Amino acid sequence: MLQPLSRWFRRSGTDSAGAETIDRASLPRHIAIIMDGNGRWANRRGLPRVAGHRAGMTQVREVIRACDELGIRYLTLYAFSTENWKRPRPEVEYLMRLPEEFFRTEIDELVARRVQVRFIGDVDRLPDHTRRVVDETLRRTAGGDGMVVCFALNYGGRADILEAVRGLMREAAEGRLSPDAVTEAVFDGYLSTAGIPDPDLVIRTSGERRLSNFLLWQSAYAELWFTDVLWPDFGREGLLEALRDYQRRQRRFGGLK
């Protein structure tokens, strides 16, 4: 196990560059990223949009490695929203093939890093071939006791909340739950993110300053970091910049400090 891991570290060479400026004692427990700007990255190079998605995929690997090395416990990546089905069919089809390619090349490293992969979103409505990769990845990484990497695939924050409400109402209808028992903690347990702490830091690349239906309930007190950098250019350096900014902030959660 350790042998291949050290090989990966050596290969990237610059893995620890810049990381010394990060205070390991005040890292976010959970980072969530809206990986945006792939299409514009490709357009600027005269390439088809899908080339941007491909380039973006390699950044996913870099960011997982960097987070693992820093000791981030939870990383959630917004890969496909419930609204992204509106895109032209060839682009949607390409995006639905990317998980196969990604996990085929990355699964061994993820397992070696003891990463546990999770998925949030309505994965039952993905094409069969994508669904199979999801199941296989869950199976292969189920025993991981290291970082949790959560892929938001066919995810929408409102759909997540609605699904939780449906679950609660079913329990109530069967007489197992009274309205007064529905606390925030109980509600959390019905969301797709059950068991995952709220994100401390939400990052969005590409200059857009909106949440686009990402983790609406869970981000109530997240620190938000926006950068003009497009996702395929973000990488480890972008992550470190976001972390340095995060560590200069004072989180008050409505109280005084």
Query: Per rule CB under 6 A, is residue 102 in the interface with ligand IPE?
Result: no
Q: Which of 74, 80, 225, 234 binds ligand IPE (CB under 6 A)?
A: 80
Query: Per rule CB under 5 A, is residue 36 in the interface with Mg ion?
Result: yes
Strands 116-120 and 223-226: what pairing?
A: unpaired
Query: Per rule CB under 6 A, is residue 93 in the interface with ligand IPE?
Result: no
- 245: annotated active-site residue: no
User: What angle (nearest 5°) sits at the alpha carbon of residue 146, between those of residues 212 and 15?
Assistant: 80
Query: Per rule CB under 6 A, is residue 212 in the interface with ligand IPE?
Result: yes
Q: How far is CA 47 from CA 32, 140, 232, 235, in A?
A: 28, 35, 13, 20
The position carrying tokens 């809206």 is 34
Distance CA 49, CA 42 (A): 5
Instruction: Report the nearest approach of ligand IPE to the CB of residue 77 (Å).
Output: 9
User: What angle (nearest 5°) sits at the alpha carbon of residue 241, between those of residues 240 and 244?
Assistant: 85
Residue 62 one-letter amino acid: E
Question: Of 17-25, 66-74, 75-83, 173-181, which part binds ligand IPE (CB under 6 A)?
Answer: 75-83
- Segments in 26-174 forming alpha helices (H): 38-44, 49-70, 89-112, 128-141, 157-173
Q: Which of 27, 31, 95, 215 binds ligand IPE (CB under 6 A)?
A: 95
Shortest-Cβ-distance residue relative to ligand IPE: 39
Question: Of 35-43, 70-78, 222-230, 234-242, which part binds Mg ion (CB under 5 A)?
Answer: 35-43
- 43: annotated active-site residue: no
Catalytic site residue from 84, 122, 188, 233: 84
How far from each other are the two terminal CA atoms of the chain, in whole angstroms?
Answer: 45
Q: Which of 79, 111, 134, 191 binds ligand IPE (CB under 6 A)?
A: 79
Q: Compute, in degrees rounded to 10, the torsion defined by CA atoms 67, 68, 70, 75.
A: 40
Query: Per rule CB under 6 A, is residue 234 in the interface with ligand IPE?
Result: no
Question: Of 12-20, 32-40, 46-54, 179-187, which part binds Mg ion (CB under 5 A)?
Answer: 32-40
Query: Per rule CB under 6 A, is residue 36 in the interface with ligand IPE?
Result: yes
Alpha-carbon 4 to chain mean position: 25
Question: Of 77-85, 122-130, 169-177, 243-251, which part binds ligand IPE (CB under 6 A)?
Answer: 77-85
Q: Which residues are catalytic?
A: 36, 84
